[in-house]
Structure 1
Amino acid sequence: MKILLVSATRFEVEPLAARFENIALIPSILHKLRNDYLEIDLLTPGIGMVQTAFYLGKYLAHSDYDLAINAGICGTYSKDIPIGSVIHVTEECIPEAGVEEDGRFLSLFEAGLLDFDEFPFDQGKLINLNYPKMTRLIQLKTGTGNTVNTMLTDPGKLRQLKTLFPADVESMEGAAFFWACQVEGVVCTQIRAVSNLVGERDKAKWDLKLAIKRLDEVLMAVLDELFKEI
């Protein structure tokens, strides 16, 4: 099985990467991780949709992957989702893509610039139904995500975002990952661990260490299950 693991930064998946022999194919961007029973391509395109879309488009078009996994940390909009929670994100929205008109924000779909069901969108969202039906994934809490270019801290803007585009978690890459995988027809899954509450810029209230630890535990369980199925 040929697996592509996509993480914005190596830092987010370093505990997993450290368990493997690392072969740099393109320094800082693409590594091959290898041990006695698994071989994984690790793509670390950088933070944001632009880098993620470019490098995913490049490598998915020229490689025949059986599975792509997007793994990383995220923020949560809800205090009911504790820091350290691991979420299987199955739906993404791009809430900043749109126009302001007469004091109102209209999405690209509402403004008539995109059809709500224009592939790969479904009712204006990127919905991933083509994920591996694995026990470890099914056990995770399923959630919805917003993919943003800006981490908001202004209470009014954040309130508007949550009202217009309700979601469970927020990242800066998820929608680009789903878009690329769906266009290329690659089976994919997105796994995110919560490190902070969205809007909280006091880093003392974040817990990156816990989020990365929990993410690593789930990733290893998923890979172990995949290995047993091979």
Structure 2
Amino acid sequence: MSKGLILCATEFEMARFLGEQPLVKGKTPSGLTLYSGILEDIPFDCMISGPGVFNTAHALTVYLEHTRPTLILDTGIAGAFASFGFGDDDVEGVRIGDIGIAAREQYIHAVAGCHTPAAGLPFDLIKNQPLTRQGIYPSDPGLLDLYHGIFTRELAGPIARGDFITVSSITASHHHAQKIYNRFFPAMEAMEGAAAFHVAALYDVPVIEIRAASNFVGERDKDRWDFPLACDRVRQICEIVIANGFKLE
């Protein structure tokens, strides 16, 4: 039977989910942590990649060389661009604890030295996928609609749906957050998503990225971050995707 794959950077982000499931913990030959389990008769694996694009690319490649999952769920916590006043309660946007689904991922360092977001590399990062010149990886529109509908129904609340960006380090000031937003107009930032999309595309495996906001981008005071809430929302994300059988349509 085919199984789904949950991909996450750290066990910390997955702690609420892992703590409630009777999973078997193992290791890959390269030392990566891999959990396996069955929930509501749905088999799945959970790979802990380590943070950042390089660890994610390595971990997912190791996994896909031996197993082809039905669907990859890339998940974890993320920083939110509150629409986009960075925490101003008077504006609408993604809030701490909100769940967001990536309409597309962009590795912004692919165009970091370019004058405009439309300018990019002089070659495709993936052959015949010209958007990868800008580090852009669109989500499958059908999967995006499907999971946005599922989460909207099951959680009875607004589910953010927008562009995500992948960065090499957390944006640490409101000034830089505003500059990034003015250029890319993202809903969330994290450090792994583009790598998951890139490797999934190389292996032609469906992927969806769904994350929970733990903080506002540019907020350096971690006393204002809410890790427990975001990690509990990651638990909900995983349970909902599993309960729906990692469905593709």
Given the two structures, how large is their TM-score scaled by the length of structure 2? 0.79
- Aligned pair partner of 2:122 in 105, 108, 113: 113
AA partner of residue 26 (structure 2): A
Q: How many residues align?
A: 225
How far apart, in 2, do the equivalents of 1:227 and 1:118 lie? 28
Deviation per CA, 1:113-134: give whole Å up to 9, x if none: 2359954453732101163735
- Asked if 1:88 is matched to 2:92, the reply is no
* 1:40 Cα offset (Å): 1.5
1:26-41 equivalences under 5 Å are: 26=28, 28-34=32-38, 37-41=41-45
AA partner of residue 214 (structure 1): R
Deviation per CA, 1:19-59: give whole Å up to 9, x if none: 12323133552222245723221111111001001111222
In 2 relative to 1, CA 43–117 (structure 1 residues): closer, same or farther, beyond 3 Å? Answer: closer
Counterpart of 1:97 in structure 2 is 110
Percent identical pairs in the alignment equals 25
5+ residue gaps, structure 1, are none
Per mean C-alpha deviation after superposition, the further-off stretch among 20-29 and 131-140 is 131-140
In 2 relative to 1, CA 21–152 (structure 1 residues): closer, same or farther, beyond 3 Å? Answer: closer
Given the two structures, how large is their TM-score scaled by the length of structure 1? 0.85
AA partner of residue 5 (structure 1): I
- Asked if 1:136 is matched to 2:150, the reply is yes
CA RMSD of aligned residues (A): 2.7
Counterpart of 2:12 in structure 1 is 11
Per mean C-alpha deviation after superposition, the further-off stretch among 114-123 and 174-183 is 114-123
AA partner of residue 57 (structure 1): T
5+ residue gaps, structure 2, are 88-92, 154-158
Contact 1:120 1:182 in 2 (8 A): no
In 2 relative to 1, CA 40–117 (structure 1 residues): closer, same or farther, beyond 3 Å? Answer: closer
